[in-house]
Amino acid sequence: MSRKILILPGDYIGPEIVTEARRVLELVNDKYQLELELEEALLGGAALDEYAVPLPEQTLARARDAEAILLGAVGGPKWDAVDRALRPEQGLLQIRSELQLFGNLRPALLYPQLAAASSLKPEVVAGLDILIVRELTGGIYFGEPRGIRVLENGERQGYNTCVYSESEIERIGRLAFASAVKRNGRLCSVDKSNVLEVSILWREVMDKLAPEYPDVELSHMYVDNAAMQLVKAPKQFDVLVTGNMFGDILSDAAAMLTGSIGMLPSASLDQQGRGMYEPCHGSAPDIAGQGKANPLATILSVAMMLRYTLDCTEAAEAVESAVSRVLDRGLRTADIFTAGQQLASTREMGGAVLGELGNE
Ligand code: IPM
Ligand code: MG
């Protein structure tokens, strides 16, 4: 039986980074006889241009049919004037929601070779290895009612609703506890329960789950403090679990600790472990088409796909260690470049990873 992998390159740098990650996936596919069948479809602005919607029916149908999805990045200024319901980002949010990809894993791992590229002092980030578990299909991103309404005085008012049901909190909580069991056994749940009812319930549900995971030490932290602690003493964290919007913000902050958001992969999983894999960064319109983008976050997303959905740890580790060896050799795209290293284009970086994989 062949196993379908759907590739969604997306917009701006999306196709450039995905091309490199696809080459890696193809090599691994042959080398480990995974029998993957790769196909491509449109999402985001690219889909808007072709079909006038950011998530076309045929893309969604193929996504449902696929065992895993590899996504580049969507959105950008070209579609700024588009109606908000049709924005490229809506395609991404819809596909997450339609496929119930509630569990977003965002590991922030500092490659020792990149310690100098971090905006923090090397001793603050050396050895950093944290995992942010972000709830991805609920909270304020999806809560109803939402909209922009006109008040009686004629003034417009924007509004959104942050909602989490117990079952949604429990589902992401279990994924986070299970992740902590496999790591260093420390889980910090991040909320704003000094102000928000939705956070009071969040905290209650996390506390209720804790006795089922006796090997995990659960703590709680307010999100403002968590933001501060992330840049002050990030190594205190092992696994962080939080809601959709807090997770969006904290994961960008965590990314910078590691030198560049261009290094961070992510997995978005459903209850069965099927998933969509994408870099944490966006479509970077400012550097699109110049061969400057760092393909490593997307290549490392392939490694996550191999580990979490395709169950091929050996191949996942091979990709990760190939990336590490390329960094050892001093190759750097512009975002992680420091003096004395060798500047590489998107293509050169992808090619170097392929070379290392082939040389194993
Ligand atoms: C992310 C992105 C998306 C999000 C955007 C592009 C809708 O920032 O994956 O972190 O907010 O979830
Ligand atoms: Mg984000």
The full set of domain ranges for the chain reads: 1-114+271-360, 129-257
Selection from 333, 335, 329, 357 nearest residue 347 by Cα:
333
pLDDT value of position 116: 85
- pLDDT tens digits, 230-255: 999 999 999 999 999 999 999 989 98
Candidate list 30, 49, 65, 224, residue with the active-site label: 224
Average pLDDT over residues 273-277: 95
CATH number of 129-257: 3.40.718.10
Q: What beta strand segments (E) does the chain contain? A: 3-10, 36-40, 68-73, 103-109, 129-135, 147-150, 156-159, 186-191, 217-222, 239-242, 265-269, 275-279, 331-332, 342-343
pLDDT at 350 over 90: yes
CB of 92 closer than 6 angstroms to any ligand 1 atom = yes
Active site residue 141: yes
Residue nearest to atom 9 of ligand 1 (CA): 280
What whole-number distance in Å separates Cα of residue 164 and Cα of residue 92?
20
Percent of the residues in the chain that have a pLDDT greater than 90, as a whole number: 92
Active site residue 286: no
* Residue 19 CB neighbours (<10 A): 17
What whole-number distance in Å separates Cα of residue 176 and Cα of residue 277?
18
Q: Classify the C-alpha dihedral 205-209-211-217 as positive or negative.
A: negative
Counting ligand 1 atoms within 8 A of each CB, the residue from 89, 261, 268, 281 with the most, and so the one to mutate, is 89
pLDDT value of position 1: 56
CA of 211 to the centre of ligand 2 (A): 32
Average pLDDT over residues 60-76: 97
Residue nearest to atom 5 of ligand 1 (CA): 89
Residue 311 burial (10 A CB sphere; 0-12, 13-18, 19+): exposed
Contact 189, 206 (CB under 8 A): yes
Ligand closest in space to the Cα of 89: 1
Contact 17, 297 (CB under 8 A): yes
pLDDT at 2 over 80: no
Question: For 89-93, 177-181, 209-213, 336-340, which range has the lowest pLDDT when averaged over its residues?
Answer: 336-340
Average pLDDT over residues 25-35: 97
What whole-number distance in Å separates Cα of residue 192 and Cα of residue 264?
26
Q: Do the domains 1-114+271-360 and 129-257 sit in the same CATH topology, yes or no?
A: yes
Tokens of 252: 């960008």
Contact 298, 72 (CB under 8 A): yes
Cα atoms found within 13 Å of the Cα of residue 271, Cβ hemisphere only: 7
Contact 257, 234 (CB under 8 A): yes
CB of 252 closer than 6 angstroms to any ligand 1 atom = no
Could you identify the residue written with the tokens 């807090």?
Answer: 246
pLDDT value of position 118: 87
Residue 301's pLDDT band (cuts 50, 70, 90)? very high
26, amino acid identity = E
Candidate list 164, 248, 292, 308, residue with the active-site label: 248
- Phi, psi values for residue 127, rounded to 5°: 80, 5
**Protein residues with C-beta less than 5 angstroms from the ion ligand 2:** 248
Nearest-atom index, ligand 1, CA of 244: 12
pLDDT value of position 144: 98
pLDDT value of position 260: 86
pLDDT value of position 359: 76
Average pLDDT over residues 87-107: 97
Counting ligand 1 atoms within 8 A of each CB, the residue from 12, 74, 92 with the most, and so the one to mutate, is 92
CA of 209 to the centre of ligand 2 (A): 28
CB of 254 closer than 6 angstroms to any ligand 1 atom = no
CA of 357 to the centre of ligand 2 (A): 30
Active site residue 224: yes
Residue 256's pLDDT band (cuts 50, 70, 90)? confident
pLDDT value of position 207: 98
Candidate list 11, 164, 192, 308, residue with the active-site label: 192
CA of 137 to the centre of ligand 1 (A): 12
Question: For 118-122, 155-159, 339-343, which range has the lowest pLDDT when averaged over its residues?
Answer: 118-122
Average pLDDT over residues 24-39: 97
Nearest-atom index, ligand 1, CA of 245: 11
Output the pTM of the full model. 0.95
pLDDT at 82 over 90: yes
Nearest-atom index, ligand 1, CA of 96: 12
CATH number of 1-114+271-360: 3.40.718.10
Candidate list 12, 111, 141, 308, residue with the active-site label: 141
